[in-house]
Amino acid sequence: MLSITSKLPKVGTTIFTVMSALAKEHQAINLSQGFPDFPISNDLIGDTYEAMRAGHNQYAPMPGLPELRQAIAQKVNHLYKSSINPDTEVTITPGATYGIYTALTCFLNPGDEVIVLEPAYDSYIPNIELNGGIAVCVPLKFPDYSVDWDAVKHAITPKTRSIIINSPHNPTGYVWTSEDMKMLDELTRNTDIIIISDEVYEHITFDAMPHESILKYPSLFARSFVIYSFGKVFHTTGWKMGYCIAPEPFMQEFRKVHQFLSFSTNTPMQVGLSRYLQNEQAYLSLPAFFEEKRNLFLDLIKDTPFTLHAPTKGSYFQLLGYDKISALPDKEFAIWLTREIGVACIPVSAFNHDGKDDHLVRFCFAKQDETLIAAAERLKKLTMK
Ligand SMILES: Cc1ncc(COP(=O)(O)O)c(C=O)c1O
């Protein structure tokens, strides 16, 4: 029997798959995985359906349909005052996770170090390791999970090739400030550090906080791959559609890898998205829409023994402490909560390479109000330990 030597020996099934399966098994309300349970726009469905009916069903151009790249460049140049060239600096991808992997694959060589701020989205470290790189993990500061800039500075070595940043942040909801961007600029200036900026939650910030895109800062953009997801913007996580924006020399290398990974991305969805993007309200309405959901969720959990360290500033996740309920490690607590109370969440330790456990769990509030109310009814049954 042939066997293979795993390139990811420490990796099993992701916590998102585990918790969603457990939620299904126990008919729990699933506030674990980050996906909305409400319908997507009928206009977007209509635009995509029309595209299929009109025969847009064959391979799209390798970098993506010109009309979609133009719509994206128009959008970001307006929002972030950038001057992105749709022909040379934008590529459409099958989702953001793919974009991150492709970007890392362009430039990482064995032994290169990549700084990862933890807790972190779970694909980053495996993506680095698959490319022979070494993840250098720097913890964010508990309890607000702001960036510990001294720690980042100390983590930089002559082998540092890249840093992955993510704002608004999954799972903590921290949103980078202009001060954070200034620090990143200072630390990377005169180095050959490449930034991967994961901005999939760009339109989900609260309390009037602006999203500090890399695209707003020309000196940072010059060393960056910036990653976006239509899944998070138009509630279409199952479509796996996204894009990468990078300066032309970086984008040339990105496209070299992309053309041999997937070659191109779903054609009718690109047509549908390019038409739907003309309606700017579809994304400009998102902060208010999700802020209402966050506020409803925060209001509902007031009647439960969960502890709130800080209301989330962005993304559609809220962290809650459970010290008053249980002394279990967070993973065991999340499993117990799913089985016994019927509400699924994600243990935050799953976002730390070493399983560091701050006794916090993550809830996704991108759900219909009825779902959040039903979940809260169950959570109210929890008692103090
Ligand atoms: C921080 C972050 N980046 C990337 C993604 C993945 O985006 P996509 O589904 O477009 O691959 C997610 C999804 O949860 C995420 O939270």
For residue 154, the model assigns a pLDDT of: 98
DSSP 29-66: EE-SSS---SPPPHHHHHHHHHHHHTT--SPPPTT--H
Residue nearest to atom 13 of ligand 1 (CA): 34
Same domain, 207 and 246: yes
Q: What percent of the chain has pLDDT over 70?
A: 100
CA of 92 to the centre of ligand 1 (A): 15
Instruction: Give yes or no for a contact between 66 and 95, defined as CB atoms under 8 angstroms apart.
Output: no
Range of the domain at 23: 15-40+284-379
**Ligand 1 near 96 CB (within 6 A):** yes
CATH number at residue 329: 3.90.1150.10
- Looking at the structure, tell me whether residues 141 and 210 fall in a common domain: yes
With a cut of 90, say whether residue 385 has pLDDT above it. Answer: no
Expressed in angstroms and rounded, the spacing between residue 200 Cα and the centre of ligand 1 is 6
Q: Does 212 score more than 90 pLDDT? A: yes
* Phi, psi torsion values for 14, nearest 5 degrees: -70, 155
- Taking a C-beta distance cutoff of 8 angstroms, is the pair 107, 263 a contact? no
pLDDT value of position 143: 87
Task: Give domain status of residue 46, yes or no.
Answer: no
- What is the per-residue pLDDT for 55? 98
Domain count, the chain: 2
Which atom of ligand 1 approaches the CA of 98 most closely?
Answer: 11
Task: Indicate whether residue 20 lines ligand 1 (CB < 6 A).
Answer: no
* CA-nearest residue, atom 7 of ligand 1: 96
Q: For the chain, what is the mean pLDDT?
A: 96
Judge whether 384 lies within some domain: no
My answer on whether 23 and 105 are in the same domain is no
* 91 domain-assigned: yes
Question: Rounded to an integer, what distance in angstroms lies between the CA atom of residue 229 and that of residue 73?
Answer: 15
Is 90 exceeded by the pLDDT of residue 383? no
Q: What is the mean pLDDT of residues 127-134?
A: 97
pLDDT of residue 92: 98
Which tokens sit at 43? 């206009």
Note the pLDDT of residue 10: 86
Same domain, 151 and 262: yes
What does the pLDDT look like over 288-338, one tens digit per residue? 999 999 999 999 999 999 999 889 999 999 999 999 999 999 999 999 999
Q: Which of 39-48, 78-87, 243-252, 375-384 has the lowest mean pLDDT?
A: 375-384
* 346-347 β-sheet, strand order: 317-321, 360-364, 346-347
Is 234 within the bounds of a domain? yes
Distance between CA atoms of 184 and 198, rounded to whole angstroms?
A: 15
Decide whether any atom of ligand 1 lies within 6 Å of the 97 Cβ.
Answer: yes
Q: What is the average pLDDT across 101-122? A: 97
50 in any annotated domain: no
> 206 and 218 in one domain?
yes
Report the candidate in 127, 120, 198, 212 with the shortest Cα–Cα distance to residue 166: 198
Task: Specify the range with the lowest mean pLDDT, choosing from 3-17, 57-71, 333-347.
Answer: 3-17
pLDDT tens digits, one per residue of 137-171: 999 999 899 999 999 999 999 999 999 999 999 99
- DSSP code at position 188: H
Please report the pLDDT score of residue 57 as a whole number: 98
In a domain, 344, yes or no: yes
Rounded distance between C-alpha atoms, residue 328 and residue 321, angstroms: 12
CA 200 to each of CA 10, 144, 230, 385: distance values in angstroms, whole numbers, following the listed order: 27, 20, 8, 38
Q: Is 95 in the pocket of ligand 1 (CB under 6 A)?
A: yes
Q: What is the pLDDT of residue 335?
A: 95
Check residue 141 and report its DSSP letter.
Answer: B
| 261-264: Cβ within 8 A, 24+ apart | 261/98, 261/102, 261/105, 262/93, 262/94, 262/98, 263/59, 263/62, 264/59, 264/60, 264/61, 264/62, 264/64, 264/92
On the CB side of 86, how many CA atoms lie within 13 Å of its CA?
A: 15
User: Is 63 near ligand 1, meaning CB less than 6 Å away?
Assistant: no
**pLDDT at residue 239 above 90?**
yes
pLDDT at residue 20 above 90? Answer: no
> Does the Cβ of 247 fall within 6 Å of ligand 1?
no
Domain end point (choices 252, 280, 308): 280
User: Which of 97, 125, 362, when mutated, tests ligand 1's pocket best, judged by the most ligand atoms within 8 Å of its CB?
Assistant: 97
pLDDT band at 201 (very low <50, low <70, confident <90, very high): very high
What pLDDT is stored for residue 13 in this prediction?
84
Q: For 339-380, write each residue's pLDDT tens digit.
A: 999 999 999 999 999 999 999 999 999 999 999 999 999 999
Q: Is 198 in the pocket of ligand 1 (CB under 6 A)?
A: yes
Burial class (CB in 10 A: 0-12, 13-18, 19+), 273: buried
pTM: predicted TM-score of the whole model, two decimal places: 0.97
Among candidate residues 360, 376, 80, 135, the one with its CA nearest the CA of residue 245:
80
Q: Which atom of ligand 1 is nearest to the CA of 242?
A: 10
